[in-house]
Structure 1
Amino acid sequence: MAYNLSTAEKFFPALAASGAMNLVNSSALTYAQGGKVRVVYAPFDHVASHAKLVVVGITPGAAQASAALAEARKHLAAGLPITEVLRRAKLIASFSGGAMRNNLVSMLDAIGVADLFSLSSTDALFTPGAEHVHFTSALRYPVFIDGQNYNGNPDMIRTPILREIVEKHLAEEAALLPNAVWLPLGPKPQAALLHLAGAGLLDRSRILAGLPHPSGANAERVAVFLGQKDPRLASAKTNPAPLLAACAALRRQIAELNGGRN
């Protein structure tokens, strides 16, 4: 099943005709608006149909969206098909190296995801061009609150204009990738995935809830999760107990998924 192109097709004429623009205030690219909330179209529609891992953030920020729009305009001007324009624009949403990827690979390997996919390491999923990892957001298109990047407030599930995006676009991706494992980067994307699971739109057992954010700024929590730092030596800002419990629970979860495959 291919992903839906209708939203991209609706906004691409405006995108192609536009030069530099104030993304936050662009009426031509406004997807939805209500009160303080404005949702703006940016070309994040592409779904990596062979992905085994889905990494879910909150929503694209203005800088990320502007870069994707510029990339899309360039390829539209070159006459590329819409699906290829979307694929290339989406590439800027991925991360290819650094501490974030290293931390993510280490944690996924530690809980057994490499074994689940018969790999020596989940690092193999990040092979350039293979699209074994799908990067997305709980809210596919950029959201602004009073002109500022959305940071999780107001609650996306309790805000109708935002919940509709979760239930339409994120649910579409869940339907396209039913056999992937889903990694929410933080509690807000996790809540969106659990909302879909509660509605029967995503298998709860495939959501990796509780994994620490792999950001390099989160190094101590990652080290405790991996058993690389004695929890008794953790600083006051890190609570080891939930991290250790999450690691144990995720190992059991992956083991059960792996058992179900064999």
Structure 2
Amino acid sequence: MTQIEKYKAFILSLPPGRLSKEQLFVHELLLYEQQHMSIYYVPYEYVNTQAKLMIIGITPGFTQMELAIRCAREDLLSGVPADQIDQRAKKLASFAGSMRKNLIEMLDQIGLPAVLGIEGSRLLFEERRDLLHTTSAVRYPVFQHGKNYTGHSPPILKSPVLSGYAERILLPELLAVNDALVIPLGKAVSEVVQAFAEKGWLSKERCLFDMPHPSGANGHRKKQFEQHRADMQQQVYQWFSR
């Protein structure tokens, strides 16, 4: 269910080209603000219930927010139907930048292309987007002191606001995309999904809990990945062989 109509007038008022924080960190897009934390709208409400793979990040960062809003503006000007705008924005912006490259490399190395019958994991973000659902522990961009929230200060589960977003939005997504292998990226997201599983809301069998976050800022990413790669390969094979 898209909310694009609610934000349509403001998005159309934005100028063409790249958008700055000053243009997007505005009251018209603000969903929540308290002390140093702010949460903003982004057109990310599309859910691919037929996906075979579900990848969960922490929260969209500014790069993803800017791309998604810019994509939505162009689509609104071009007359793209409202029910397609979120889907197109998410396809363009999800894990955009170096994160997507790092993520694709890891997905290839745990054997996903073979079990999904595709040439490489990059196709999940291109022609075979039908196989993939991307989302975040907190669907909407979260910023602290104007910088991307990293999932740790505070931890999502220790914040009533952030954990509330996860329960109200992420949990229903997990239940709706019920045939997908779930890959939470990094410790902060894994903790949220594990908490759902411990409450009996989700099967642990469908979750790969050891995938490191693909951010370039995660200096331990490669070491963490190598430690768990064999186990993840086995779990991928078992899930898709069931």
Cα distance in structure 1, aligned partners of 2:7 and 2:161: 19
User: 1: distance between equivalents of 2:219 and 2:107?
Assistant: 13
Deviation at 1:220, TM superposition (A): 8.2
The residue aligned with 2:12 is 16
Q: Given the superposition, is the C-alpha separation of residues 252 and 139 from structure 1 closer, same or farther in structure 2, using an over 3 Å criterion?
A: same
Equivalent residue letter for 1:156: I
Percent identity between the two aligned chains = 28
**Closer/same/farther in 2, CA of residues 167 and 9 from structure 1, 3 Å limit:** farther
Measure, in 1, the Cα distance between the counterparts of 2:5 and 2:39. Answer: 17
List aligned pairs for 1:54-203, cutoff 5 A: 54-90=54-90, 91-94=92-95, 99-109=101-111, 113=112, 117=116, 119=117, 123=121, 126=124, 128-131=126-129, 132-152=131-151, 153-203=153-203
Q: State the Cα distance separating 1:99 from its structure 2 match.
A: 4.8
Cα offset for 1:205? Answer: 1.3
Task: Decide whether aligned partners of structure 1 residues 125 and 198 sit closer, same or farther in structure 2, where only a CA change above 3 A counts.
Answer: farther
Cα distance, 1:68–1:104 mapped onto 2, change above 3 Å: same
Per the alignment, residue 49 of structure 2 pairs with: 49
Note closer, same or farther for the CA distance 1:204–1:82 as it changes in structure 2 (3 Å cut): same
The Cα shift of 1:29 comes to 0.6
Number of the residue aligned with 1:32: 32
TM-score by length of 1: 0.75
Superposition deviation, residue 81 in structure 1: 1.1
Q: Once the two structures are superposed, what CA deviation does each residue of 1:47-92 show, in whole Å capped at 9, x if it has no partner?
A: 2333211121111111220121011011112221112111211122
CA distance in 2, matches of 1:68, 1:174: 22
Q: CA deviation at 1:209?
A: 0.6
Q: 1:196 to 1:24 in 2, by over 3 A?
A: farther
1:13 and 1:165 map into 2 onto residues whose CA distance is 26
Q: How many Å apart are 1:94 and its aligned residue?
A: 4.5
Which protein has the larger Cα radius of gyration, Structure 1 or Structure 2?
1
The change in CA–CA distance for 1:179 and 1:63 in structure 2 (over 3 A counts) is same
Which amino acid is the alignment partner of residue 143 of structure 1?
Answer: V
Separation of aligned partners in 1, 2:38 and 2:66:
16
The answer to whether the 8 Å contact 1:48/1:133 transfers is yes
TM-score (norm 2): 0.80
Change (3 A) 1:148 1:23: farther
Q: Is the 8 A contact 1:60 1:137 kept in 2?
A: yes
* Structure 2: segments with no counterpart, 5+ residues: none
Q: In 1, are the aligned partners of 2:60 and 2:142 still within 8 Å (CA)?
A: yes
Aligned-partner SS, 2:27: coil
Structure 1 residue 114, shift from structure 2 partner:
5.4
CA distance in 2, matches of 1:159, 1:150: 13
Aligned to 2:239: 257
Q: 1:15 to 1:185 in 2, by over 3 A?
A: same
Residue 56 of structure 1 aligns to a residue in which SS? strand
Q: 1 CA distance for matches of 2:115 and 2:167?
A: 28
Aligned residues: 234
Deviations 1:156-190 (A, max 9, x none): 11111111111112122112211101111210111
Counterpart contact for 1:34–1:161, Cα < 8 Å: no
- TM-superposed CA distance for 1:123, in Å, is 3.2
